[in-house]
Amino acid sequence: MKIFLFLLLNILFLHCYSQRSFSLINHKKNSFKFDLSGNLVVVPVKVNGVELQFLMDTGVKETILFATPQDSVPLENVSKVKFSGIGIEDGVEGVMAVGNELIVGETLIDSVHNIFVIDAEELDLSSHIGIPINGILGSRLFEDYMIKIDYLKSKVSIYDSYDFPENLIKNYTRMPVEMERSRPYVHINVNLGNRTIRKAKMLVDMGNSDGLLVFPFLIDSLKISEPKIYDFIGRGFNGLIFGYRNRVDGFDWAGFHIKEPIVSYPDSNAVHAAKLAINRIGSIGNQVLQHFHVIINYPKNEIYLKKNRNFGKRFEINMSGMEIKHDGLEWTQRRVPTNIGRRDPDNPNSPGVSVYSQEEYKYEFSLRPIYRVASVREGSPADLAGVKIDDEILKVNGSNAQNLKLKQIVGKFMHKEGDDIRLVLQRGLDQIKVQFILKDPIPFQNSIN
């Protein structure tokens, strides 16, 4: 699946603070639902009673709240701090709030939670995922529990790390993980075309929406295999991040062979190698994790995997070549027939309705989303059809875009190579119709052939 967002956020903090862990609110309830959007796990969170939505991210340690003019969240005991990490050159100023109440999925609570607040308006995460994103829930959530992630049911379940049902891990494959700064690392054997790397150290990163991420400047003599595209990878604190993307033969992980995953290779200017864990060359992202039932047990330094029905399915990519963003809401009105008929005036006691007038209407007002083109890859089907940045999408294959979610629109661009796509676009005062055929820009080609 084509990435909507890649968070280069492997945050390090200049100061460390201890804090109490999460606990179950009700021991009879140990699970909650999440929303899978843009290959990212979005969970419901309450911060001091305010309902928000956070990304669940194993690649970040702390809890981060995005400060925007639209949000109003009361915070306790704030002080200034500075953040640094991947995608951040000189550091980003923010505040730390100590002793806040954080509730996750109405299931877990921490009454004295530390929250790091940053101005992330430039990241514009919500518009690219299509739903409001208010922050990031990092590794603190995983530190004291065994956590099962069911991507098929969109459900997170919580268990005691040492005292859990015996059948919970039945038919799962266990693998050890290396925990460094509260982040999980594993080793894989990966074929990148002209290079096969054994025991490659990878971060298990739920905040990465691609299959694999590889830092090409850390691998000697790596040649990114064809076909490849230079593409939008995601957003960091310093702006847009670009790099190459291709498919590779695959990689072996704990006895599983992952066939032809999509790999992104961010430009070196987006990543500061000095801030990476020693010997790390990349990340395993959510597009791969979705092929498994996943159980993470940080206290015992282990992860369990079991194939789900997605295992072996082709890794999808947005074949249109254009990125779509949610660009706010607007009031729309629609004239609809009323459901009120007229009784027969000559027989007022009649139980039925003898006349229904098509002349009677009411106006229905509602807030509907606006979708715009955020970027267009040169030479892509959308580009060749004449799609431009900032075009508003009115219709997709005859469906009104305002009646669709962002992931439904993007899903149409990922369905099948050869699909016909018809768009109605608003460009200034003009409505424009375009049509193109989906084409996979990075079909896997065996380098031997």
Q: Which range has the worst mean pLDDT, 15-19, 24-28, 43-47, 250-254?
A: 15-19
Q: Give the burial class of 49: count Cβ atoms within 10 A of its Cβ; 0-12 exposed, 13-18 middle, 19 or more buried.
A: exposed
CA pair distance 105, 226, nearest whole angstrom: 44
Looking at residue 349, its pLDDT comes to 55
Looking at residue 231, its pLDDT comes to 87
Give residue limits of the domains in the chain: 12-160, 170-307, 322-437
CA pair distance 31, 147, nearest whole angstrom: 9
Looking at residue 94, its pLDDT comes to 79
Is there a shared CATH topology between the 12-160 domain and the 170-307 domain?
yes
Looking at residue 170, its pLDDT comes to 95
Residue environment code for 84-119, b if the CB has 16+ CB neighbours within 10 A, otherwise e: bbbbbeeebebbbbeebebbbbebbbbeebbbbbbe
Fold adopted by 322-437:
Pdz3 Domain (2.30.42)
Distance of CA 65 to the CA centre of its chain: 16
Choose the CATH number for 12-160 among 3.40.190.10, 2.40.70.10, 2.40.30.210, 3.40.50.1110.
2.40.70.10
The residue type of 104 is V
Question: Sign of the CA dihedral 188, 319, 294, 135?
Answer: positive
CA pair distance 128, 6, nearest whole angstrom: 10
CA pair distance 386, 376, nearest whole angstrom: 10
**Contact assessment for residue 358 and residue 337, using Cβ atoms and an 8 Å cutoff:** yes
Looking at residue 185, its pLDDT comes to 97
Q: Give the burial class of 420: count Cβ atoms within 10 A of its Cβ; 0-12 exposed, 13-18 middle, 19 or more buried.
A: exposed
pLDDT of 257 > 70? The answer is yes
The residue type of 179 is M
Residue of 226, 228, 233 whose CA lies nearest to 210: 233
Query: To the nearest whole percent, how much of the chain has pLDDT over 90?
Result: 55
Question: What are 261-270's pLDDT values in tens digits?
Answer: 999 999 887 7
Cis geometry, peptide bond prior to residue 443 (ω within 30 degrees of 0): no
Residue reference for tokens 């990125």 = 323
Looking at residue 1, its pLDDT comes to 31
Query: To the nearest whole percent, how much of the chain has pLDDT over 70?
Result: 78
Question: What are 119-145's pLDDT values in tens digits?
Answer: 766 566 766 676 788 899 988 889 889
Higher pLDDT, 118 or 443: 443
Between the alpha carbon of residue 245 and those of residues 67, 218, 224, 290, 373, the distances in Å are 32, 16, 9, 20, 20
pLDDT of 351 > 60? The answer is no
Q: Number of C-alpha atoms within 13 angstroms, CB side, residue 435?
A: 5
Question: What are 178-187's pLDDT values in tens digits?
Answer: 999 889 999 9
Choose the CATH number for 170-307 among 1.10.3680.10, 3.90.650.10, 3.40.50.300, 2.40.70.10.
2.40.70.10
Question: What are 16-27's pLDDT values in tens digits?
Answer: 444 448 999 998
Looking at residue 86, its pLDDT comes to 45
Question: What are 404-425's pLDDT values in tens digits?
Answer: 998 899 999 998 899 999 999 9
Would you state the structure tokens that stand for residue 190, as one six-digit string? Answer: 């990966």
Q: 3-state DSSP helix/strand/coil percent for the chain, to nearest 5? A: 10, 50, 40
Between the alpha carbon of residue 210 and those of residues 136, 216, 249, 272, 318, the distances in Å are 18, 16, 16, 20, 12
Residue of 271, 239, 286 whose CA lies nearest to 124: 239
Residue of 293, 162, 335, 189 whose CA lies nearest to 248: 189
The mean predicted confidence, pLDDT, of the chain is 83
Q: Which range has the worst mean pLDDT, 6-10, 55-59, 223-227, 430-434?
A: 6-10
CA pair distance 293, 261, nearest whole angstrom: 18
Would you state the structure tokens that stand for residue 39, as one six-digit string? Answer: 């290959």
Which range of 5-9, 86-90, 311-315, 324-328 scores highest in mean pLDDT? It is 311-315
Looking at residue 9, its pLDDT comes to 43
Would you state the structure tokens that stand for residue 177, as one six-digit string? Answer: 């993980």
Looking at residue 14, its pLDDT comes to 39
Higher pLDDT, 317 or 349: 317
Strands 108-119 and 135-137: unpaired
